[in-house]
Amino acid sequence: MSEATAGSADADESVLERYSSRVLVAGVTLAALALFLVGGWLFPDTILGTFADVLTSRNTLSAALRLSVPIAFAALGGIFSEKSGVINIGLEGLLIISAFTAIYVTYLTGNVWIGFGGGVVASVLLALLFAVVTIEFRADQIIAGLAVWLIALGLAPFASQVIFGGPNTPTVATPGAISVPVLADIPFFGALFSASPSVYLLFLAVGLSWYVFERTTFGRWVRASGENPKALDTAGVSVTRVRYAAVLISGVLSGMGGAALSLDLGQFTGNGPTMVNGKGFIAIVAYLFGNYNPVGAFLSTLLFAGLDAMQTYLQLQGIGVPRQLIRITPFVVVIVVLALVGRTRIPEAAGDHYESGEE
Amino acid sequence: MSVRDRARDVLERLAIASATERILISTAALVLSILVGAVLVLVAGRMTACTANEAVYYFGTGFCYDPVLVFDRLFLGALGDPFSGGWSPGGQFSITLRETTLLLFTGLSVALAFRAGIFNIGTQGQMVVGALATALGVLWVSPLVSGVVGTVLLIPFGILVGAVFGGLYGAIPGLLKAYADANEVITTIMLNFIATGVTLYLVSGVFKDPNSPANQTVPLPEYAQFPAVLFGGRQDFSLIALAFGLVAIGGLYYLLEHTAFGYDVRTSGIQPDAAEYGGVDAAKTIVSSLTLSGALGGIAGAMYVMMVLGTFQTGVPDYGFDGITVSILAGNNPIGVGVAALLFGVLKSGTTVVQFATDVPPQLVGVLRGLIILFVAMPEFFRLIGKRVTDAGEKAVATDGGRPGGESDE
């Protein structure tokens, strides 16, 4: 008991540190943005000018939004799962399986939206397997999550090879962009109103997730299931059911992210780490950095995706840094952010199996 | 009998039960994943197209792939067809041993970290870094020596270089975890991507072999590569490398079980709070075990360069991820890693045989890799089945041995 109280005192103490490092990262980002913008305005012909051009380019924002979609969806899913007490390291696997299945079903049916649904179903099934293994059979959540990732990493290229004769699928139709008239013509921010349907779905999902956590009974149950499962059990709500629901929701959300990822490009590429390429793991860092808040997770995703978008355009501008090195910036940034944020206060009971008294 | 004696008695029985149980669970997991793999092959056989003559028929339905043939090729093929005569050490069996050798090191790398309670998913990256370092180091030194003397000097040197650089690369997530509380699962995975990116940059630029279209370094001279002993040199396998792997198993076993450092590692893995209370320097243990784990990954890279490729090339196969499966299958026990590496070596080498004999894609082994981890991770499932079986026969024996040893309650 005394140990537990000492632990919570520690946590209180580090709240300050935690917020200060978050503020630090946000501050540095804003300062860098300001430097590039002002510097670029003063010296348009220098490298600062190039950065400013890239930053204010409407293309950068639209690319950042596009790149955010899979990461942010997976991050939202991760929040649901981890808040309920099940750490879902397998988000990457859910993205991979849904990205492939979405293309496959679209290829079969010729309809992008049925394909999208197919991707979500595949991800939910894999999430269900993960839920059964961790909740029912008490598997270690980290190891089971790794298994989910590795299974998908093997299964998607395997299926693609069997069906299409190669790890990459043929291209299928893409959903195309939805443009809001007038608003889409605004400079820079117009990118928000002329985007793939998946971007709008993401806005919707961020808002809905926030609403669920802050305003609904189910959101409170999910939080309680991760923080104090015993209390939830005492209140007569089944912890097992809440956790199942939360993990399945993480399957739905990640499935939407994975399906959107491949369908927006019209192809699944399965070489090496596949087209998902670590996005599921970046998503985990995004929600840790966003402190388990859906809006926070979305904003930190936008930071990572923004960097990714910038590197694409910087490559085109040719600033003299080799392509291969620019490509690893998001991964380096993830490590730096993780090191600065340090241990976030994960839900009290996350990672633990919960055994209700009754058998 | 005093309470204390009874407690010790129960603990001892648990230890024995858990060792036997571990082996049973790992075997069951292996068998179950192979069965699931067979179903997968059947399903895949329905989804691909073939002529009626090529198809095989089970339960009145035609399938393009025959799982019996697949697993026949997978196992017997990997062993070089020992029952059909004409077995030679230079055949497929030496490829199996080659894979086993590499998996030994990546498996040990993962196992050491897991024993310290650290999820090192970065063995792959550490292997890549070690491999490039070995190639460059050996290339740099090789003009100074030649012949047999060269081999005797260069191979240990190459292994050392691989171990040092792999170790340094493993130290990064160790330092980040120990001093910045950064979760090692994420940092090691990110470092894998970074290792791939940076080595691609180096090998496609500064260190590229100008005479090769591939992104690779200049080939190592013949005398800087592992000599083939007993097994023909055609399959890039060296018994010396395997022997070195067996020494590594013994070394790690001794280190974990019979040294003070090993005690620190094991206690930190089982009960970090208690270990720290008992005077273990947690930060130091984290950094040193990840460094050592990285060094083992780096040695795998050195072996890959000096035994298999004879150069460094981008696109190093997933030995690091396979190492996770090997270690988990072995219950993170160094001696178990030896057995698991051989089993998984058979799977890896067998899939290429399968690809020749049937059209089943070699990515099958990737699926099996994940399935094995998943099944080993759910001992409760097998306990339930085991309980069903034993309950039907007689009353359960040693019921305390059937419970997970204090894992469920905190």
Tell me the pLDDT tens digit for each residue of A113-127. 999 999 999 999 999
Quick one: pLDDT at residue A1?
35
Residues 6+ apart with CB under 8 A from B124: B106, B192, B195, B297, B316, B318, B319, B320, B321, B323
- Contact of B378 with chain A, judged by CB distance below 8 Å, is answered with yes
Distance CA(B343)–CA(A124), nearest Å, equals 32
pLDDT over 90 for what percent of chain A? Answer: 50
Q: How confident is the model at residue A342 (pLDDT cuts 50, 70, 90)?
A: low
- Is the pLDDT at A13 greater than 50? The verdict is no
Judge whether B250 and B105 are in contact, CB under 8 Å: no
Scan residues 2-41 of B and list those with Cβ closer than 8 Å to A.
40
Q: Is residue A309 part of a domain?
A: no
From the CA of B224, how many Å to the nearest CA of chain A?
A: 30
CB distance from B365 to chain A under 8 Å? yes
Report, as an integer, the average pLDDT of A335-344. 77
Q: Which residue has the higher pLDDT, A100 or B238?
A: A100
pLDDT at B248 over 70: yes
Per-residue pLDDT tens over the stretch B309-338: 889 998 899 899 999 999 998 989 999 999
CA-nearest residue to B315 within chain A is A272
Write the residue in B189, B374, B379 that is nearest to A151 by C-beta: B374
Share of chain A above pLDDT 70, in %: 82
**DSSP code string of A231-266:** HHHHTT--HHHHHHHHHHHHHHHHHHHHHHHHHHHT
- Which tokens hold the place of B66? 């025959």
Name which residue leads in pLDDT, A330 or A212. Answer: A212
Beta carbons of A123 and A252 less than 8 angstroms apart: yes
Look at residue B410 and tell me whether its pLDDT is greater than 50: no
Residue of B321, B346, B405, B389 whose CA lies nearest to B22 = B405
Between residues B405 and A346, the one the model is more confident about: A346
Residue A277 at interface with chain B, using a CB cutoff of 8 Å? yes
Q: How many CB atoms lie within 10 A of CB A269?
A: 20
What's the gap in Å between the CA of A177 and the closest CA on chain B?
31
Is B404 touching A (CB cutoff 8 A)?
yes
Radius of gyration over every alpha carbon of chain B, rounded to an integer in angstroms: 23
Burial-class residue B106 by CB neighbours within 10 Å (0-12, 13-18, 19+).
buried
Whether residue A303 lies inside any domain: the answer is no
Res. B235: pLDDT tops 90: no
| Domain assignment present for A30 | no
Q: Give the pLDDT of residue A79.
A: 96
State the ipTM, two decimals.
0.84
Torsion, CA A259, CA A265, CA A268, CA A272, rounded to 10: -110
pLDDT, mean of residues B54-82: 78
- What is the pLDDT, as a whole number, of residue A132? 94
Mutate to test the interface with B, among A129, A137, A276 (most CBs of B within 10 A): A137
Cβ atoms within 10 Å of B96's Cβ, excluding its own: 24
Does a structural domain hold residue A190? yes
In the 8-state DSSP scheme, what is residue B396? P
Residue B62 phi, psi (nearest 5): -90, 140
Give burial (CB, 10 Å; 0-12/13-18/19+) of B210. Answer: exposed
Average pLDDT on B109-133 reads: 95
Interface test mutation site (partner A, options B42, B378, B382, max chain A beta carbons within 10 A):
B378
A193 — contact with chain B (CB < 8 Å)? no
Cβ–Cβ gap A150/B373 under 8 Å: yes
Range list for CATH 1.10.3470 in chain B: 92-369
Of A134, A149, A161, residue with least CA distance to A280: A149
Note the pLDDT of residue A113.
94
The position carrying tokens 């025959």 is B66
Please tell me which residue, B28 or B379, carries the higher pLDDT value: B28
Q: How many CB atoms lie within 10 A of CB B85?
A: 6
3-state helix, strand, coil in chain B (%, to 5): 70, 0, 25
Q: Which residues contact A212 (CB under 8 A, 6 or more apart)?
A: A218, A219
* A contacts of B188 (beta carbons < 8 Å): none
pLDDT above 90: residue A352: no
Range ranked top by mean pLDDT from A25-34, B39-48, B130-139: B130-139
What pLDDT was estimated at residue A73? 97
Reply yes or no on whether the pLDDT at B1 is more than 60. no
Q: Count Cβ atoms within 10 A of the Cβ of residue B143 and give its class: 0-12 exposed, 13-18 middle, 19 or more buried.
A: exposed
A137 with B204: Cβ contact below 8 A: no
Longest Cα pair distance anywhere in chain A, in angstroms? 72
Backbone angles phi, psi at B82, to 5 degrees: -65, -20
User: How far is CA B18 from its chain centroid?
Assistant: 22
What's the pLDDT score for residue A11?
44
d(CA A170, CA A158): 15
**Closest chain B CA to residue A129:** B374
Q: Coil, strand or helix: which one is B2? A: coil
Answer yes or no: are the C-beta atoms of B241 and B91 closer than 8 Å. no
From CA A100, how far away is CA A122, in angstroms rounded?
9
> Does pLDDT of B404 surpass 50?
no
Token code pair at residue A319: 């600033």
A167 touches chain B (CB under 8 A): yes
Supply the pLDDT for residue B186: 87
- Cβ pairs A/B, distance under 8 A: 155
Tabulate helix, strand, coil % of chain A (nearest 5).
75, 0, 25
**Percent of chain B scoring above 90 in pLDDT:** 39
Q: Which of B69-73, B112-116, B391-395 has the highest mean pLDDT?
A: B112-116
pLDDT band, very low/low/confident/very high, at B383 (cuts 50, 70, 90) = confident
A124 vs B394: CA distance, rounded Å? 40
pLDDT at position B58 is: 73
Using an 8 Å CB-CB cutoff, list chain B residues near A162.
44, 47-48, 360-361
- Mean pLDDT is highest, among A18-22, A182-186, B51-55, B105-109, for B105-109
Instruction: Show the tokens assigned to A43.
Output: 């010296």
pLDDT surpasses 50 at A6:
no
A58 in reach of chain B (CB within 8 A): no
**Tens of pLDDT, residues A32-73:** 777 766 776 777 666 666 666 666 677 788 888 999 999 999
Place B298 in a pLDDT band, splitting at 50, 70 and 90: very high
SS3 of A55-102: HHCHHHHHHHHHHHHHHHHHHHHHHHHHHCCCCCCCHHHHHHHHHHHH
Strand partners, B109: none
State the residue range of the domain holding A230: 69-286
> What rounded mean pLDDT belongs to chain A?
84
Mean model confidence pLDDT for chain B:
84
What residues have CB less than 8 Å from B86, skipping those under 6 apart? none
Of B119, B273, B366, which has the smallest distance from its Cβ to A158's Cβ? Answer: B366
Residue of B nearest to A280 (CA): B186
Give me the pLDDT at residue B356, please. 81
Q: Which amino acid is at B202?
A: L
Question: In this structure, are residues A33 and A54 in contact, taking their beta carbons and an 8 Å threshold?
Answer: no
- Highest mean pLDDT: which range of A322-331, B75-84, B347-356: B347-356
Domain count, chain A: 1
Share of chain B above pLDDT 70, in %: 87
Q: Which CATH class is domain B92-369?
A: mainly alpha
Query: Which residue reads 């004409």 in tokens?
Result: B86
Pairwise pLDDT comparison (A44 vs B196), residue with the higher score: B196
**Residue A190 reports pLDDT greater than 50:** yes
